[in-house]
């Protein structure tokens, strides 16, 4: 994958595709298509799908209300799409939505142990804004874990 990432706006009909990507990105606890459809049916939830060389490699969901704050519900890239500017393109697409809504801050939660994602968010301008104890519930062999909250000031 060497081409520039291409972003498109997702619709509720994209939920099955997003669920397939989700299963590859977060195999330990993927969201099913029905959950993604439910989220996308809520007002002010916006989705994006990113492709490289015609292959869908990631997606994101952001929720925000005009002149309030926005929350990144999820952002993810399949393993073979990482370290190629794909996540940065998704993040910028979500920031564009937030700016259109006249939102001043965007927040997201990330597993405390996800050091790669945390380094990416810090490099992208995110600052640690708090911690949510036990935010990620235990799943099988995966223990419960705290979330680190990041804030991006636009």
Q: How far apart are CA 74 and CA 51, in angstroms?
A: 17
Q: How far apart are CA 38 and CA 16, in angstroms?
A: 12
- Domain spans of the chain, in order of start: 6-153
Q: Is 111 left (phi over 0), alpha (psi -120 to 50) or beta?
A: beta
Band of pLDDT at residue 103, cut at 50, 70 and 90? very high
CATH superfamily of 6-153: Gcn5-related N-acetyltransferase (GNAT) (3.40.630.30)
Checking if the pLDDT of 2 tops 70, the result is: no
Phi and psi at residue 105, to the nearest 5°: -140, 145
Rounded to the nearest integer, the mean pLDDT of the chain is: 95
Beginning with the edge strand found earlier in the chain, give each strand of the sheet holding 145-153 in spatial order: 6-10, 45-52, 55-64, 70-77, 105-111, 145-153, 127-136
Name the one residue in this structure whose structure tokens are 């990041």: 150
CA-based nearest residue to 7, from 40, 63, 51, 47? 51
Tens-place pLDDT, residues 53-92:
999 999 999 999 999 999 999 999 999 999 899 999 999 9
Checking if the pLDDT of 50 tops 50, the result is: yes
Which secondary-structure segment (H or E) carries 16? helix 15-25
């Amino acid at each position: 994958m060497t081409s520039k990432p291409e972003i498109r706006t997702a619709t509720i009909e994209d939920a099955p595709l997003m669920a397939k990507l989700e299963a590859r990105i977060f195999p330990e606890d993927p969201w099913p298509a029905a959950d993604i459809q439910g989220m996308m049916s809520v007002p002010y939830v916006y989705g994006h799908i990113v492709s490289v060389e015609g292959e869908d490699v990631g997606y994101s969901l952001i929720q925000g209300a005009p002149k309030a704050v926005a929350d990144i519900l999820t952002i993810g890239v399949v393993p073979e799409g990482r370290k190629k500017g794909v996540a940065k393109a998704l993040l910028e697409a979500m920031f564009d939505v937030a700016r259109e809504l006249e939102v001043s801050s965007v927040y997201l939660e990330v597993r405390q142990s996800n050091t790669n994602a945390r380094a990416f968010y810090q490099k992208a301008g995110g600052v640690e804004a708090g911690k949510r104890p036990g935010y990620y519930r235990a799943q099988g062999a995966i223990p419960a874990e705290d979330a680190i909250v990041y804030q991006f000031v636009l």
